Amino acid sequence: MPVLVMKFGGTSVANLERIQNAAKRVQTEVEKGFDVIVIVSAMSGKTNELVGWVNETSPLFDAREYDAVVSSGENVTAGLMALTLQEMDVPARSWQGWQVPLKTTSAHAQARIEEIETHNINEKFGEGMKVAVVAGFQGISPEGRITTLGRGGSDTTAVAFAAAFDAVRCDIYTDVDGVYTTDPRITEKARKLDKIAFEEMLELASLGAKVLQTRSVELAMRFGVRLRVLSSFEEQNDNAGTLVCAEEDIMESNVVSGVAASRDEAKVTLVSVADRPGIAAAIFGPLAEAGVNVDMIIQNISEDGRTDMTFSCPTDQVARAEVAMGELKENGTLNFAELVADTGVAKISVVGIGMRSHAGVAAKMFETLSNEGINIKVITTSEIKISVLVERKYLELAVQSLHDAFDLDKAS
């Protein structure tokens, strides 16, 4: 039988009633002739509760025991989903990560998937099981300990299973009914996309769109797994949601597919740094070691052998950057006049595969922002993306004006 992977997020399985609703969707797919692998998250709020208990018990916790505790939320959901399906006369059983097994690295709390063995589940499918309910977010290390995959790990689990079992599709059920041209909370003109290319979705996910976890999109693009994002709370039909697929599967698309916004950004400038070979490595190597996720990087024109180096990072990582750079200055590794942090900025990005073959997108973006009196602080570009930093107070205005300028409320 063809295999379909269905993933249900925390809000979709938040209580017994929602688990029953999700189970009905699974039953519908079984009746269509699929063998189904269901990946479940913990009930909404449960993982945070478990993490809180760990922190309260042991602030400097053993990461191996942390994983043993926080992975239990998914185990509960998997068991309840399997029981619910059995009550509906659908042959189902639950699987924990170690039972599959889903093999990972030993990096507890942020493990990466190395291999998913298919033999055990396929054997049960052959014996008449119709649904394998798998606890997401978890696996087993080479040492035989439970591991977890980090934030958004259930999405990654679902895509990995779809790749391993050569599934026809991977359906990601969440509390939104698809991928939108921008955040509907910012502009009511936001339009749901029927299809979006892997590369576009990857950029949008990395730029602030919360619909899919970045690692899951990377994995889907690598293995060609067709993803469908849809709501657990909307009427079920074959055309629901947004299909994330290869670029060649999209006949025509707008030049720009979406506008993304990231509110919690900071602009950090090292003033008067020596302009010499290796200076960038001397700055950004220690920042990486300190866990600072650097995005945009700008180096000013050198004057008298000195330059300013500017970069962006999440606001909650500014303190780490300040400490790392302070230590370099103190030990004489790096000489700079001062570190200036602006924590009142936001990152606005336009994304679209159509930008590859159309000129003038940057000019239109900059002109639109200029007409609204919005000053651009930093610019960075790639083949299908243009991102700028602006004052945070202009975030909504910038998104709305760009959405209008590129006619994103209209289908291609």
pLDDT bin (cut points 50, 70, 90) of residue 44 is very high
User: What's the confidence (pLDDT) of residue 206?
Assistant: 77
Pairwise CA distance, residues 194 & 64, whole Å: 42
pLDDT at 250 over 90: no
CB-CB contact of 141 with 105 (8 Å): yes
The three-class DSSP label of residue 36 is strand
CB-CB contact of 72 with 50 (8 Å): yes
User: What's the confidence (pLDDT) of residue 208?
Assistant: 62
Give me the mean pLDDT over the 233-249 stretch.
83
User: What's the confidence (pLDDT) of residue 375?
Assistant: 96
User: What's the confidence (pLDDT) of residue 303?
Assistant: 84
User: What's the confidence (pLDDT) of residue 203?
Assistant: 86
148-162, 245-259, 367-381: range with lowest mean pLDDT: 245-259
pLDDT bin (cut points 50, 70, 90) of residue 209 is low
pLDDT bin (cut points 50, 70, 90) of residue 184 is confident
What DSSP string runs through 297-352? EEEPPPBTTEEEEEEEEEGGGHHHHHHHHHHHHHTTS---SEEEEEEEEEEEEEE-
46-50, 106-110, 302-306, 361-365: range with lowest mean pLDDT: 302-306
Give me the mean pLDDT over the 43-66 stretch.
94
Most confident of 152-156, 345-349, 353-357: 345-349
User: What's the confidence (pLDDT) of residue 151?
Assistant: 81
pLDDT at 296 over 70: yes
Centre a 10 Å sphere on the Cβ of residue 119 and count the other Cβ atoms it contains.
9
User: What's the confidence (pLDDT) of residue 121?
Assistant: 98
185-199, 201-215, 397-411: range with lowest mean pLDDT: 201-215
**Higher-confidence residue: 255 or 98?**
98
Pairwise CA distance, residues 154 & 9, whole Å: 8
How high is the mean pLDDT of the chain? 92
- Of 351, 24, 27, 312, the closest CA to residue 203 belongs to 351
pLDDT bin (cut points 50, 70, 90) of residue 249 is confident
**pLDDT exceeding 70 applies to what percent of the chain?**
98
Give me the mean pLDDT over the 262-272 stretch.
94
User: What's the confidence (pLDDT) of residue 388?
Assistant: 95
Report pLDDT digits (tens) over 63-79.
Answer: 999 999 999 999 999 99
pLDDT at 36 over 90: yes
50 Cα distance to chain centroid: 22
pLDDT at 252 over 70: no
Token readout for 151 is 């934030």
Give me the mean pLDDT over the 41-54 stretch.
95
Pairwise CA distance, residues 409 & 412, whole Å: 10
User: What's the confidence (pLDDT) of residue 98?
Assistant: 97
Token readout for 299 is 């180096």
User: What's the confidence (pLDDT) of residue 75?
Assistant: 97
pLDDT at 387 over 90: yes
- Of 155, 306, 137, the closest CA to residue 217 belongs to 155
Pairwise CA distance, residues 369 & 378, whole Å: 13
Token readout for 256 is 């720009």
What DSSP string runs through 103-172? EE-S-TTS--EEEE--HHHHHHHHTT--EEEEETTEEE-TTS-EEE--TTHHHHHHHHHHHHTT-SEEEE
Query: Which residues have CB under 8 Å from 84's CB, separation 6+?
Result: 16, 19, 20, 23
- Of 177, 147, 136, 150, the closest CA to residue 8 belongs to 136
